[in-house]
A = this chain, B = another copy of it.
Amino acid sequence: MKKANVYVTLRESVIDPQGTAAINVLHAKGHDNVKDVRIGKYIELTIEDTGQDLDTAVREMCEKLFVNTNVEDYRYEVLEVEEA
């Protein structure tokens, strides 16, 4: 069995309203040394290894479902996992 961990983040050039709001709250709670907050998605995929090309499959899943490629970037890692 394989696990793919996908990290989806807004492109640097894109304003992150959630992140901006979080900075204001953190500063109000005394965390003044927080300079930037970027909030994205973390996706864990558990995939049965059928010998297929997992990189191609994971990229396809990301670009067809999990990622808005107009405003988001993504990276992923594929790991071997013990059968549950």
Contacts and interface: CB of A to CB of B under 8 A. Distances in A.
A11 B29 CA distance: 27
A13 interface: no
Interface of A: 1, 7-9, 22, 25-26, 29, 31, 33-50, 52, 57, 60-61, 64-66
Nearest to A64: B29
A8 B7 CA distance: 12
B9 A34 contact: no
- The 4 tightest CB contacts between A and B, nearest first, are A42-B42, A36-B46, A33-B48, A38-B44
9 contacts: A26-B61, A29-B64, A33-B47, A33-B52, A38-B44, A39-B41, A39-B42, A39-B43, A42-B42
